[in-house]
Amino acid sequence: MNKMISVLFVCLGNICRSPMAEAVFRDKLEQKGLTGKISVDSAGTGDYHVGKEPHKGTRELLDRNHISYEGMLARQVSYGDWSKFDYIIAMDDQNITDLSRINKETEDVYIAKLMDFVDDPGDENVPDPYYTGNFDYTYELVSEGCSKLLDFILKKHTIS
């Protein structure tokens, strides 16, 4: 039996972008019948919203798209995440910088930005709708990025 692949999505506060990515990725896994083969979680580099549910704008957008975010509560990235996850996927350059401050040991973990998986992305970073207010644009980027990330993982690990 193959080891379950695990993915952690990371943003600043873990209430907008990373829970959106977790929910979207989980939905894509369910649609493809891969729930037992790849696990997914999300966390923030900051502790501003620990224990809170996703932002209202994220919840409304996910509801509109019939994507569940049930049971999601914000948490902060911890040093131990490097031993729990195969992939740590950040939303922007600042998240990458913050992650390297938490743990510089990256040899066993694939760390990248979500948009790194998209050919010719409209943005290299996923803008934070907490500040921009544009949850729809963030969702478009997250959805495309999650599809491409899933394709990458399936190909790399020969999962079907």
Residue 1: pLDDT band with limits 50, 70, 90: very low
Provide the percentage of residues in the chain whose pLDDT is more than 90. 87
Q: Are the C-beta atoms of 14 and 42 separated by less than 8 Å?
A: yes
Q: Which of 56, 33, 47, 37 is nearest to 129 (CA)?
A: 56
**What is residue 109's three-state secondary structure?**
coil
Mean pLDDT over residues 20-41, rounded? 96
The helix (run of H) or strand (run of E) holding residue 30 is: helix 17-31
Q: In the block, which residue shows the tokens 């900051």?
A: 46
Mean pLDDT over residues 104-108, rounded? 75
Residues classed as catalytic: 11, 17, 128
DSSP one-letter code for 7: E
Beta bridge partners of 110: 87
Q: Does domain 5-156 have CATH number 3.40.50.2300?
A: yes
Q: Are the C-beta atoms of 25 and 146 separated by less than 8 Å?
A: yes
